[in-house]
Amino acid sequence: MTWRVKKWTFEDRIIAPSLLAADFGRVAEETSRAIKAGADWMHLDVMDGNFVDNISFGPAIIQAIHETNDIFLDVHLMIARPDHYLPRFISAGADMITVHVEPEAQHEVGSTLSAIRAAGCQAGLALNPATPFEAVLPFLGDIDMLLVMTVVPGFGGQSFIPEMMAKVEAGVKHRKEQSLNYHIQVDGGIAADSAATAGQAGANVLVAGSSTFGATDMAAAISSIRQA
């Protein structure tokens, strides 16, 4: 089966292990390990030391993963000027590119989303815990995924913030009322217990770093998140 051509809907529960928690000395093997353990997508956290207080990896690493593995690549850009770097992530093999709505990300949100889609990628829009749902409202008709951050972005291994479920629920409500069609992703502190909370609120894409790559049995960890 070629993962890339699979059409995912917001009724599918999608588990996306975050490479941030993997062994960076072996990123291709770590991705293969996640695929064998049942990962649906690979979540790739790009951090620039500017929009967030951490530096991770860029397009060269994503291209290496693209060339060595066959899995949907979900690229989460936590960087300033994502519009400027977009072409490099597109040619690296991204399937979904998510950008942040906060003004600190320094881009024209609407035109960045159109540029992502014009390149044949899916477009995601993220909001930080401190950002109100209203900030994404003008763009919900132009996205393939809404990312509700359930931690302050920058680091793996933080605790899930349950108060963010109000934004997930608002995303579900708006999608229904407006007959829209976007996934709702949660990212940060996801393990079986928080996955159940997020799933009940209506999130269908669950990003999990420490609880998957850090588990002794990754397949069991992914399956417990899927069934939560």
Q: Which stretch in 3-11, 57-65, 134-142, 149-157 sits in contact with ligand DX5 by CB under 6 A?
A: 149-157
Q: Read off the amino acid at residue 55.
A: I
CA–CA separation, 81 vs 75, rounded Å? 15
Q: Judged by CB under 5 A, which of 109, 187, 189, 210 binds Zn ion?
A: 187
Does 175 bind Zn ion (CB under 5 A)? Our answer is no
Is 187 annotated as catalytic?
A: yes
Residue nearest to ligand DX5 (CB): 209
Q: How many CA atoms lie within 13 A of 152 on its CB side?
A: 5
Instruction: Fill in the per-residue mask, 22 to 51: x = in contact with ligand DX5 (CB under 6 A), - = not in contact.
Output: ---------------------x-x------
Is 45 annotated as catalytic?
A: yes
Q: Which stretch in 25-33, 52-60, 157-165, 185-193 sits in contact with Zn ion by CB under 5 A?
A: 185-193
Q: Minimal distance in Å, beta carbon 180 to Zn ion?
A: 22
With CB under 6 A as the rule, give the number of residues binding ligand DX5.
22
Catalytic residue (choose from 74, 95, 144, 187)? 187
